[in-house]
A and B are shown apart, each in its own frame.
Chain A
Amino acid sequence: MSLVNIKIDGKDFQVESGLTILEAARKCGFVIPSLCAFNNGKCSRASCRVCLVEVKGARGLVASCVYPVAEGMEISISSSKAVEARRASVELILSNHHKNCLQCEKNGHCELLEVSKMVGARDHMYEGEQTPATIDELAPGLIRDTSKCILCGRCIERCKEAQGISILGFENRGFQTIVSPVGNRSFATSPCIQCGQCVNVCPTGALMEHSEITKVDEAFKAGKKVIVQTAPAVRAAIAEEFGEKIGTPGTGKMVAALHRLGFYRVFDTNFAADLTIMEEAHELLERIKKGGVLPQITSCSPGWINYMEYYCPELISNISTCKSPHMMMGAIIKSYFAKHHDIDPKDIFVVSIMPCTAKKYERQRKQMPNDVDAVLTTRELAKMIKRSGINWAKLPEEEFDPDLLGDYSGAGVIFGVTGGVMEAALRTAYFWLTGKEYGKINFEAVRGQAAIKEASVDIEGTVVKVAVASGMKNAKVLLDQIKEGKSPYAFIEIMGCPGGCINGGGQPYVKPLFLVNEDDNILETYREKRASVLYKEDERQVIRQSHNNKDIQKLYKDFLGEPGSELAEELLHTSYSSDREKYPESK
């Protein structure tokens, strides 16, 4: 990459050629406000007109998010013309925005509010009629409020790039334009997988998770025994909500906070991840032994399950029948745990803290309606912690409750990252097939952020081919192979969100505008950073294989019997719909 000399507001800088002015400026220590572009990134739209700057010799103002730097370019960010133009663009956007910022759930993470402050937007400029709004609260996972939408198009791009399903699109034109599933339908009556990737990139409160905090509050008020479990990926990111750098582990403090919030028990979904491995590895070996349908595909990711039901129900028999870990956890809490403590399962209220919005849909599936009672995202948990007056910085590190379901292995921890379920399953399958542990423990071939990873595992002469994909656009490649009868794999792991749960739709927002202390390329590196939290925790565990989890062993011995037993089938397995309509008559 060659270097070019540029001037920004009279100062000389040397930057890589090929960068946009926006990117270059950030590297040189300037923050140009922007909305349709992430403010350290490139943009293909240049539509918000907030990042305008003056370039000597150019005709009019230029959008810094698309305009590349060139040798000798003289840029002015601070000229009054540029300052006033940026302010005017923001003021116009605000004039068509529902400004109930004090009540808005996005407050604190709203880029529009932040940018308004940056440009010094004035009160009530250009007021007038607003585009007719739609508020969609029908879907369990997601809420869409077009009165907050600024038509930046980030969500449209993310849905297309990550999932390849393009649920969201622009509709109508001019002042009537909205971003919406076709025909301004609800997410609930569209083939949306509710992964929440769109929520993660939305700069305003137009797209959000469907909050269930109130439901949890009511359970406490009703005197229920409220038991909480946290997914592995939550600990990899929750510290970000409290101003810590991306990649800071938050396990101990999170558990301490949950104790302070008054939960009856604080469990780790990792326990159930181990349980899932027991059932899923067993199922895989059965299929291999008995000539069942292969490849077997994992079923932990509810976004992926939604995708399968909408887009490839013909693969239904390839999907593992295992419930996802937190649903297994719910089922075990309300049976084994309840029985042991002699509690009426009706008095138990299970809350899952998940990095995921699709889990909110999953817990309401007709096939397993009672296992889990509420799902909160990582972001919602942070809100609960903040409103309870807990100072994160001063929290001690605490342990999960060691009550029957307390033990967990390193294999369970890595469930939160792409390749982790596969690796955990391989560790156990290897043991069962050979009677001894896989020496190296780590299966490096299925680690990392590549779109599709594949590996051949030599289990004492038996070569098992496996593949891993995250994000449905990537997964589609593997699924198409199966449809065409060309899949060489025995086992496939699919996670709905790119990078796995660490990048789930319920995780803390990664918005460069608010992350001034992070690296300029944070959007490219945050997934690796979060993944490393989980891999490090795995390394620290004494027990690193699911089958060696003592509490799991006890669970089978005292309650379930064998993996795949009748009781295990009843409690831990589920079924799927093959006739889910993509566009049912709207409710």
Chain B
Amino acid sequence: MAHLQGAAVKQITEIVNRYKGEGTPLMMILSDIQKEYGYIPLEVQELVSLLTGIPVSEIYGVVTFYSFFSLTPKGKYVVGVCLGTACYVKGSQLVLDKFEELLGIKPGETTPDGLFTLDALRCVGACAIAPAVSINGKVHPMVQVSHVEKIISDIRRKEEEVSGYGQN
């Protein structure tokens, strides 16, 4: 098991200490860690267990129960396709299928290059602009199957420009 860096130990301790006065702060602690690091691996859970006295198995049970918490790092771009009813009846499943096909991953998975994580979302409340696709929290309205390829290639191109490599 990888061991945590001193800085991470300090920061997680700080997060736990934020909620010292609260009766049952586990959800808040985990939310903050998820926000800060993007995922909550076992060694972090062990540390939280040590600091709070909550058994690791209970923490792990909570992490794997709620879909917001992740055990593995998410990709740089988290693509969430809304499968809420309003989006679904307007064809968002097809949009999701297309993302799966083009990225070669299933919902919940991350591409091997760490660039994309695909999620199937439960109603983001953007029913009026269905089908909605959220990319790193920004909601893209009325996404059609035919838009998917461009969305992906735009991000890829942007990344290639930034990193300075890619096809010449």
A173 at the interface (CB under 8 A from B): yes
CB distance from B158 to the nearest CB of A (A): 35
Would you call B141 an interface residue if the criterion is a C-beta within 8 Å of the partner chain's C-beta atoms? no
Complex contacts, A168 vs chain B, CB 8 Å? 57
Q: Known: A183-B42, A583-B42, A584-B1. Contact between A167 and B64, CB under 8 A?
A: no
Judged by a CB distance under 8 angstroms, whether B46 is at the interface is yes
- B27 CB to closest chain A CB (Å) equals 15
Q: Are B1 and A169 in contact (CB under 8 A)?
A: no
CB distance from A170 to the nearest CB of B (A): 5
- CB nearest to B41 among chain A residues: A183
On chain B, the residues within 8 Å of A585 by CB distance are: 1
Known A166-B58, A182-B57, A183-B42; judge A173-B65 contact (CB<8 A): yes
Question: Is A181 part of the contact surface with B, judged by Cβ < 8 Å?
Answer: yes
Q: Contacts of A584 on B, CB cut-off 8 Å? A: 1
B60 at interface by CB-CB < 8 Å:
yes
Chain B hits for A181, CB < 8 A: 57
Chain B residues near A156 (CB-CB < 8 A): 57
Interface residue count for A (Cβ, 8 Å)?
Answer: 19
**CB-CB nearest in chain B for A168:** B57
Query: Does chain B have a CB within 8 A of A172?
Result: yes
* Identity of the chain A residue whose Cβ is nearest the Cβ of B66 in the assembled complex: A173
| Contact of A182 with B65 in the complex, beta carbons under 8 Å | no
- B1 adjacent to A170 (CB under 8 Å): no
Q: How far is the CA of A585 from the CA of B56 in the complex (A)?
A: 16
Determine the chain A residues whose CB is within 8 A of the CB of B45 once the complex forms.
Answer: 182
Closest CB in chain B relative to A194 CB, distance in Å: 16
- B104 lies within 8 A of chain A by Cβ: no
Cα–Cα distance between A182 and B64 once the two chains are bound (Å)? 10
- Bound CA span A160–B58, Å: 11
Chain B, 44-55, contact with A by CB distance < 8 Å: what is the 0/1 string? 011000000001
- Cβ contact within 8 Å between B61 and A169: yes
* Chain B residues, Cβ within 8 Å of A167: 57
Closest approach, in angstroms, between the C-beta of B99 and any C-beta of chain A? 22
Query: A169, A170, A172: which contacts B55 (Cβ < 8 A)?
Result: A169
Query: How far is it, in angstroms, between the C-alpha of A173 and the C-alpha of B62 when the chains are bound?
Result: 10
Report the minimal beta-carbon distance from A313 to chain B, rounded to whole angstroms. 15
The reply to whether A172 and B64 contact each other, CB–CB distance below 8 Å, is yes
State in angstroms the CA–CA spacing of A168 and B65 once bound together: 15
Contact A171 B60 (CB under 8 A): yes
Given A165-B55, A171-B60: A581 in contact with B1 (beta carbons within 8 A): yes
Confirm or deny: A483 has a beta carbon within 8 angstroms of a beta carbon on chain B.
no
Kindly state whether residue A56 has any CB partner on chain B within 8 Å: no
With A581-B1, A584-B1 known to touch, is A169 a contact of B58 (CB < 8 Å)? yes
CA distance A169 to B45 in the complex (A): 14
- Taking CB atoms, residues of chain B closer than 8 Å to A183 are 42, 60, 71
- How far, in angstroms, from A585 to B60 measured CA to CA in the complex? 17
Known: A183-B42, A583-B1, A583-B42. Is A172-B65 also a contact (CB below 8 A)?
yes
A residues contacting B by CB (< 8 A) are: 156, 160, 165-173, 181-183, 581-585
Closest 10 CB pairs of A and B: A169-B57, A166-B55, A182-B60, A169-B61, A166-B57, A170-B61, A172-B64, A171-B64, A173-B65, A583-B1
| Extra contacts besides A160-B55, A182-B57, A183-B42 (4): CB < 8 Å | A165-B55, A166-B58, A182-B45, A585-B1
25 residue pairs of the A-B complex, CB under 8 angstroms, read: A166-B55, A166-B56, A166-B57, A166-B58, A168-B57, A169-B57, A169-B58, A169-B60, A169-B61, A170-B61, A170-B65, A171-B60, A171-B64, A173-B64, A173-B65, A182-B45, A182-B56, A182-B57, A182-B60, A183-B42, A183-B71, A581-B1, A583-B42, A584-B1, A585-B1
